[in-house]
Amino acid sequence: MISSTTSTVTRSAAPTTRQADATISSQAVTQDNTNDEADWDADDVVWSNATFTTAARYGVIYRDTGTPSTSPVIAYIDFQSDQSPSASDFTVEIHADGIASLS
């Protein structure tokens, strides 16, 4: 799951202001034996016709357990500036190298 948020990221997956959640789709983990790493990738995440009532500064990737207080944060994205879509698509572009590499 990915959530757009205005709060600072803490150990809790329950931000002060939560805009909306979206599921990360087409996830894939590939093994790279040459570089001794595993790469995690997925499709871009799009909120269609989004309107955020409060500007979002961060995106939080977390494992959804069904309870925010027990849903662990995996990573966060700093949008570098406040994002305030108004009736437009809001896209979190996953880098061409993927979300993360583990070695």
Q: Which of 2-11, 16-25, 68-77, 85-94 has the highest mean pLDDT?
A: 85-94
- Count of domains for the chain: 1
Residue % of the chain over a pLDDT of 70: 81
User: Sign of torsion, CA 50 54 58 63?
Assistant: negative
Between these two residues, 54 and 44, which has the higher pLDDT value?
A: 44
Tokens for 13, please give them.
């997956």
Q: Where in the sequence is the domain holding 15, given as residue range(s)?
A: 2-102
pLDDT at 18: 63
Q: What's the predicted TM-score (pTM) here?
A: 0.70
Mean pLDDT of 5-32: 63
Q: What secondary structure does DSSP assign to 34-82, as a single string?
A: TTTEEEEE---EEEEEEE-SS-EEEEEEE---SSGGG--EEEEEEEEEE
Tokens for 98, please give them.
């993927």
